[in-house]
Structure 1
Amino acid sequence: MVHSTTALTLFTAAALLSSTGVTAHLPGRDGLAARHAHVPAHKKAASAVADAARSLIPDLEKIRRGADDILARSSVASGSKQKTKRRVKKRKNTCVPQVGFNVTNPTSPGSSSSAWATSTATATATATQSDSQSKIGNEHIATGSATSTAWSSASSAAQSSSVPNQQYNSLWNLEETWSGNSFFDHWDFWNHNDPTHGVVNYVDAGTAWNEGLVSINDKGNAIMKVDTTQWISGNRKSVRLHGKLVFTGGLVLMDAVHMPVGCATWPAWWQNGPNWPIGGEIDILEGVNNFKINQVSVHTDNGCTMPDNQKHTGYLTTGNFDNRNCASYATSNQGCGVRDADQTAYGDGFNNIGGGVYAMKWDKYGINVWWFNRNNIPADITAEQPMPDQWGLPMANFPSTQCDPYKYFYDNINIFTSTLCGDWAGGIWNYADAGETETCAQKTGYASCEDYVRNNGDKFQNAYWEVAYVKYFNSTTEL
Structure 2
Amino acid sequence: MTFSYISLVLALFLHLPLLSSAAPIWHEHYRQLTRRGSYTLSKSYEGDTFFDNMKFFSDTDPTHGFVDYQTKEEAMNKGLAKVEDGVVILAVDSTTTLDVGTNRSSVRVSSTDTYNGGLFIYDIAKMPVGPTTWPAIWSTAEANWPDNGEIDVIEGTTESTGNQITMHTGAGCTLTTGQAITGTTVDSELTCESGGSNNNGCPTKDPDTSSFGAGFNSAGGGVFAELWDPSVGIKVWRWSQGSVPEDITSKSPDPSSWGNPVSFIPNGQACGIADHFKDHNIIIGTYLPVCGDWAGATYSGTGTCQEAVAVASNYVDAQWKINSIRVYQTS
Whether TM-score is above 0.5 comes out as yes
Alignment partner of 1:265 out of 123, 133, 142: 133
The answer to whether the Cα contact below 8 Å between 1:168 and 1:385 also exists between their aligned partners in 2 is: no
Larger strand fraction of residues? 2
Q: Which residue does 2:317 correspond to in 1?
A: 462
Name the counterpart of 1:412: 280
Q: Indicate if the aligned counterparts of 2:159 and 2:298 stay in contact, CA closer than 8 A.
A: no
Aligned position for 2:215: 349
CA contact (8 A) 1:345 1:371 kept: yes
Which letter maps to 1:174?
L
Q: CA deviation at 1:392?
A: 0.3
User: How many angstroms apart in 1 are the aligned matches of 2:239 and 2:55?
Assistant: 28
Within 5 Å, which residues of 2 pair with 1:3-402? 169-170=35-36, 171-218=38-85, 220-233=86-99, 234-273=102-141, 274-317=143-186, 322-329=188-195, 332-363=198-229, 364-401=231-268, 402=270
Distance between the aligned counterparts of 2:195 and 2:125, measured in 1? 35
Indicate if the aligned counterparts of 2:308 and 2:314 stay in contact, CA closer than 8 A: no
1:451 corresponds to 2:307? yes
For residue 459 of structure 1, what is the amino acid of its counterpart? Answer: N
List structure 1 segments (4+ residues) > 6 angstroms apart after TM superposition.
none
TM-score (norm 2): 0.85
The Cα shift of 1:371 comes to 0.3
Alpha-carbon distance in 2 for matches of 1:382, 1:349: 22
Aligned residues: 292
Q: CA deviation at 1:342?
A: 1.0
Deviations 1:215-259 (A, max 9, x none): 1112x0000111113421211100000111101011111111000
Q: Is the 8 A contact 2:126 2:216 kept in 1?
A: yes
Percentage of pairs with the same residue: 37
Contact 1:262 1:290 in 2 (8 A): no
Name the CA distance, whole Å, in 2 between partners of 1:264 and 1:315. Answer: 25
Please give the alpha-carbon distance, in whole angstroms, between the structure 2 residues aligned to 1:270 and 1:474. 18
Q: Distance in 2 between matches of 1:351 and 1:253?
A: 18
Gaps of 5+ in 1: 1-165, 430-439
Distance 1:354 1:194 in 2: 30
**Alpha-carbon distance in 2 for matches of 1:230, 1:247:** 37
Tell me the secondary structure at the aligned position of residue 344 of structure 1: helix
CA shift at 1:366, angstroms? 0.5
Does the 8 Å contact 1:325/1:335 carry over to 2? yes
Q: Does 1 or 2 have the higher relative contact order (CA < 8 Å, sep 6+)?
A: 2
Structure 2 CA distance for aligned equivalents of residues 227 and 298 of structure 1: 30
Let me know the Cα RMSD of the aligned residues.
Answer: 1.5
Letter of the structure 2 residue corresponding to residue 451 of structure 1: E
Distance between the aligned counterparts of 1:230 and 1:360, measured in 2?
36
The question of whether the paired residues in 2 share the 8 Å contact of 1:227 and 1:238 is answered with yes
Q: Are 1:425 and 2:295 counterparts? A: yes
**TM-score, length basis structure 1:** 0.59
- Pick the structure with greater CA Rg: 2
Deviations 1:138-188 (A, max 9, x none): xxxxxxxxxxxxxxxxxxxxxxxxxxxx86723111101111111111100
Cα shift at 1:468? 0.6
- Matched residue type, 2:67: V
Shift of 1:474: 0.4
Gapped runs of 5+ residues in structure 2? 1-31
Q: 1:331 to 1:339 in 2, by over 3 A?
A: farther
Could you tell me whether the CA contact under 8 Å between 1:267 and 1:288 is conserved in 2? yes
Structure 1 position 330, deviation (Å):
7.5
Distance 1:167 1:199 in 2: 51
Report the counterpart of residue 271 of structure 2 in structure 1.
403
Q: 1:215 to 1:246 in 2, by over 3 A?
A: same
Q: For the Cα contact (< 8 Å) 1:325–1:331, is it kept in 2?
A: no
The amino acid across from 1:421 in the alignment is C
